[in-house]
Structure 1
Amino acid sequence: MFLAPEPRGPLSGPRVPPFRQLLNVIGCMLVLPWYYVTTALTKYPVTLDILLTIALTELNRYVIEGRRIIFLGHRLFDGKQPSPEEKRDREDLCLESQQATPSLDCLAAVVGWREEPSLYRRALESYKSSTTCVFLLAGIDGDEAQDQEMVDVFNKVYPKSSAVIQIPEPLGLVAERVRAKVISQNRHHDQPVDGAEADAVAMQYCIELAKNTLIQHNLRIGAPDGVRQLCLKQRHLHKKGIMFTAFVFSLVIADILGVEFLWSSDSDTIVFSDSLERTMNTIAADPHAGGASAGLVVHNAHESTVTRLASAVYWGELYLTRSTPACAGTSDCQSGPSTAFRLAALPDILVPWYLQRALGKRMVVNEDRHLTTNLLLRGWKVMFASDVLAATDTPTTMARWLKQQVRWARATHIESLLHPRVYATSHPLLFYGMAKREFGPAIGAIAIIWYLFTSQQLVVFSSKDLLLRVLVGCLYNLLRNPDRMTTKGLPWVLPSIFFYYIPLPAVHLWSMLTMGADGWGTSMRASGERARRETLKKEWFEAGFFVVWMGILGGVTAKVLGIYLGMVPHEKMAAILVTACVGAFGGWKITIGAT
């Protein structure tokens, strides 16, 4: 079914006609003046922005629900063309049966490295409640003594119909070596070097290797007494390395089982009973839909103050921001903890995804965004099932939260700025979402720094506009967000706005200046990994920008108050220096000082 992809060129997939690409480019050109008009020439720019975002979020929910209705109709009528009477019956039945959407079989690949055992157990057990998951593949990126802990958890959760396989060599390294050999042979024989052909050869070799590995272990996959849960472990590389191996094995196992979809998740993610099924149903009826992702909530929200604030951020901000381009099938990030793929889309993209280079370096920390970019470049639609939820883990300290945000922001910059062709193959809403995300925080950071040193305002901030934006956003989330806010969570909503937006310009600017940094930032949750201490130099590199930023904000606050209170210049300068030092010390205290 998926084992022999024919290379059709460097960007194979559902073809985007040249005329459509031209229209997309024209649409992108029109986005910039539209963005300027809605920000610089309006009295309430951020309120207008939230209203537009809400409209697109509602449109996205309408689109995905329509896709589920179409899929249900196909299942009920076996793909036959219904009569007019059947069409009316189908519409009535679909409207009455939205809560009983039929299941859709899929594989689930759960990858991780040195996860905290109790959390990993909860993650694996959560798949038992999913009727859609017919096979579970657990990938462990490590084969040392400390990694055996995760294997033991797997064996305890799935003691029957399961197996553990040691992979002699990570398949990503195999693919890299085979691809290099194909290119070398072509050059040796003075033949043209075709990167897509080399990718296809490397991919096919890895698939055959995975197939032979399964045969050697006699797992009887698909038989009544065969293996239904498989754990793969390989020597430690990185998340991309274990994902590549897991995806290749998923292609082989899916071909055996006749399964069309793959769910990909992390070792700290807990899925709900309908998470997989309702995500798959958003892409099942459209053969050009290559992937989808579900929304996220935080399952460790009560662990610390930071996790409570982060949980409110997920509720108030991420649900809306991820919906902006999704209604056009151009969601720009399939979040790693909650992603679905059409398996037919994977063979062409896995090798170029794994071997990605940017700014002269191999990229290993932007795995989810680059997978999405590869799908969009090849014409596949990518959906965001905003009304479906899975639960993920969030950092418990300010320092770890900032490191995570910087890592995500670096991946966002790389995919948004270094792959301009994706805007030609995608709806202009993708470019619109990028423009808001990339320009807004950068302009804000520059404007604040400029005001501190020159006392000149590049951007006029309206307190009434900001307050209205907060009220509109909170009201909408209370009414429509699928993550129902409890009374205990409400007091954290307002503080979470400051928690998220105060560091945002600094995170954005610092991540843009350090796009080439390849560190993961946060350590894994296993006790041995948490016990490791970072060097002071590394801590300052990863969180020092926040210390500086808090000093800048302290100075700006003093300057504004000094002007308001009519201070003389030397009083104003003293106030700026004092509050800048206090702000920087506070930033250090809750990040570097706390570790």
Structure 2
Amino acid sequence: LHCGGLRIFITTLFAAVVLFAILLAYVTGYQFIHTEQHHLSFGLYGAFLSLHLLLQSLFAFLEHRQMRGPSRPQHLRRTVALCIAAYQEDPDYLRKCLRSIRRISFPGLKVVLVVDGNRQEDAYMMDIFQEVMGGVEQTGCVVWKGNYHSDGDGGGGKGSLHAEEAARVARVVRSSRYSCIIQEWGGKREVMYTAFKALGDTVDYIQVCDSDTVLDPACTIEMLKVLEEDPEVGGVGGDVQVRILPILVIFMSPSTTEKFSSNFGYKTKFTARSQCQTETPTQYLRWLNQQTRWSKSYFREWLYNALWFHKHSLWMTYESVVTGIFPFFLVATVIHLFYPGRLWNILLFLLTVQLVGMVKATYACFLRGRLVMIFMSLYSLLYMSSLLPAKIFALFTINKAGWGTSGRKKIVVNLIGAVPVTMWAAILLGGVVYTIYCEVQEPFSETEKALLIAGTILYACYWLILLVLYLAIVAKRCNKREEQYHLSYAEA
């Protein structure tokens, strides 16, 4: 107890020091060097960001080097259940997901599909499940009027009939290798709760994924290797490719709650050997809604996980503090650069955003050995223009629950995602208009003209190079869809 209290104190003190140091560096604006008219400068806050980027790059390199090393073979005698969350999924995506699961190289893998919604139009997902997983004889299926927290008639799920239904769901899940539960809509957490509750302690590990995810055949065994190597590790995340959703394995205890493994003192790890590919919306507004939903989850988990920083390394505490406050510093920085009335400030902002993006993208090319990673530099612009306002909006609407994006069977465009982006664009446009007004009042100096011309040419060259690379690398592959995927994924 004494050691635990000491670790809590040290971790809390460390987090406070990191937060205070960043605030101090930003607020004071101390500069080490600068030009005569402050067109360019490098200060304490910039030094911190540079050091942060350097450390991230170093750890990424060490992780990739370790990943490329030989994997130690292990004899695993564990039981695993794979739980799939589904909500109005595109039939083609669901089939690909289930086919990839059938090909997972882990003997005796139990599969549980939980459908969020029990209306007639949701029944097609059960039909697809039976079709792919071996027919009615090989699968156990239940259409549940309610869920674990509702009886389906507006009640709280405390009656004897509801208890019988819950027991029937548990029996089907535990007795069938492949089971599908269609239940009353309750959101993604309710879906996961159903799978965990029904399984109970009948398996050693639970792996979860969404119904649009195509899993690599070795994903389960690779995550289990990490869990078995270290008894203190209770959760493992995998590498997501092409599109953006995680695979996760959660250590199960007799009592499963959404507090997960941190509550029991277990560590979590990441392994790039466990891979998957998953769908992301191709429509801009649906993508924004998805990012907003994920940001809400991030901030909720951030606030909760702050209670458990002491159970992890100090690096995790540092990363959590930095990533948690970084969006607010960015908003303040952008407004500060757009409203002093200097055109050079706006151009400098654009150049800095793309410079950081290019540095990260170039390093990614080095790590992966693939030139196509250079397009990752576009993420910085996408972050500043869309993800940043979406994150702030998510924080202010954090209590609004839901899936955030519509189901993929029938695409419904939700315009709410455009609200923060529109407001952000209006703020930036206001800064541009104000800057133009201020600049026309007084002619540019020769130094200012030279900097503006050089900066504009440099910025234009970046986009020209990216366009050439796009035509040379990406455009040629547009008509060769299968080449975008590893063979194991393409077969799914």
Shorter-chain TM-score range: 0.7 to 0.9
CA distance in 1, matches of 2:84, 2:402: 22
Contact 1:271 1:390 in 2 (8 A): yes
Alignment of 1:39-438 (within 5 A): 41=44, 43-60=46-63, 98=71, 105-132=79-106, 134-160=109-135, 161-173=138-150, 213=169, 215=171, 221=175, 227-252=176-201, 255=202, 259-298=203-242, 337-344=246-253, 347-350=254-257, 353=258, 371=259, 374-417=260-303, 420-438=306-324
Cα deviation, residue 519, structure 1? 4.0
Cα deviation, residue 22, structure 1? 2.5
Contact 1:448 1:556 in 2 (8 A): no
Contact 1:28 1:432 in 2 (8 A): yes
Cα deviation, residue 149, structure 1? 0.6
Larger relative contact order (Cα-Cα within 8 Å, sequence gap ≥ 6):
1
CA distance in 2, matches of 1:467, 1:381: 36
Counterpart of 2:479 in structure 1 is none
Equivalent residue of 1:287, what SS? coil
* Pair 31,151 (structure 1): closer, same or farther in 2 beyond 3 Å: same
Equivalent residue of 2:407, what SS? coil
Counterpart of 1:525 in structure 2 is 408
Cα deviation, residue 240, structure 1? 1.5
Cα deviation, residue 387, structure 1? 4.3
Counterpart of 1:544 in structure 2 is 419
Once the two structures are superposed, what CA deviation does each residue of 1:491-545 show, in whole Å capped at 9, x if it has no partner? 7433343123322332232222222222432101012xx2x565xxxx2x43222
- Equivalent of residue 365 in structure 2, options 457, 461, 478: 478
* Pair 214,520 (structure 1): closer, same or farther in 2 beyond 3 Å: closer
Q: Aligned AA for 1:523?
A: S
Count of matched residue pairs: 419
Counterpart of 1:502 in structure 2 is 385
Once the two structures are superposed, what CA deviation does each residue of 1:330-364 show, in whole Å capped at 9, x if it has no partner? xxxxx6x41101122xx4442xx3xxxxxxxxxxx
* Pair 560,376 (structure 1): closer, same or farther in 2 beyond 3 Å: farther
Cα deviation, residue 461, structure 1? 6.3
Equivalent residue of 1:152, what SS? helix
Equivalent residue of 2:229, what SS? coil
TM-score, scaled to structure 2: 0.73
CA distance in 2, matches of 1:48, 1:277: 36
Counterpart of 2:8 in structure 1 is 21
Counterpart of 1:446 in structure 2 is 332
Counterpart of 1:88 in structure 2 is none
Cα deviation, residue 284, structure 1? 1.9
Cα deviation, residue 382, structure 1? 1.3
Contact 2:64 2:367 in 1 (8 A): no
Equivalent residue of 2:81, what SS? strand
Q: Which runs of 5+ in 2 are unaligned?
A: 27-42, 444-492
Contact 2:236 2:248 in 1 (8 A): yes
Contact 1:109 1:138 in 2 (8 A): yes
Once the two structures are superposed, what CA deviation does each residue of 1:223-269 show, in whole Å capped at 9, x if it has no partner? xxxx42111222222221121111122225xx2xxx42111111111
Cα deviation, residue 291, structure 1? 0.9
Q: Aligned AA for 1:475?
A: T
Contact 1:261 1:343 in 2 (8 A): yes
CA distance in 1, matches of 2:66, 2:10: 22
CA distance in 1, matches of 2:2, 2:99: 40
Counterpart of 2:398 in structure 1 is 515
CA distance in 2, matches of 1:473, 1:285: 32
Cα deviation, residue 289, structure 1? 1.6
Aligned residues: CA RMSD? 3.9
Cα deviation, residue 164, structure 1? 1.2
Contact 1:130 1:274 in 2 (8 A): yes
Percent same amino acid at aligned positions?
19
Q: Which runs of 5+ in 1 are unaligned?
A: 1-13, 66-94, 182-204, 222-226, 299-310, 315-334, 354-370, 571-595
Equivalent residue of 1:518, what SS? coil
Once the two structures are superposed, what CA deviation does each residue of 1:186-223 show, in whole Å capped at 9, x if it has no partner? xxxxxxxxxxxxxxxxxxx98x98666555x6x894xx
2:453 corresponds to 1:567: no
Cα deviation, residue 59, structure 1? 4.7
Contact 1:445 1:509 in 2 (8 A): no
Once the two structures are superposed, what CA deviation does each residue of 1:114-172 show, in whole Å capped at 9, x if it has no partner? 11111100001101221226211111122221111101101110125222123354124
Equivalent residue of 1:567, what SS? helix
Q: Aligned AA for 1:166?
A: V
Contact 2:80 2:110 in 1 (8 A): yes
Q: Aligned AA for 1:339?
A: L
Cα deviation, residue 378, structure 1? 3.7
Contact 2:338 2:435 in 1 (8 A): no
CA distance in 1, matches of 2:174, 2:400: 44
CA distance in 2, matches of 1:380, 1:122: 33
Contact 1:141 1:233 in 2 (8 A): yes
Contact 2:223 2:236 in 1 (8 A): yes
Q: Aligned AA for 2:5?
A: P
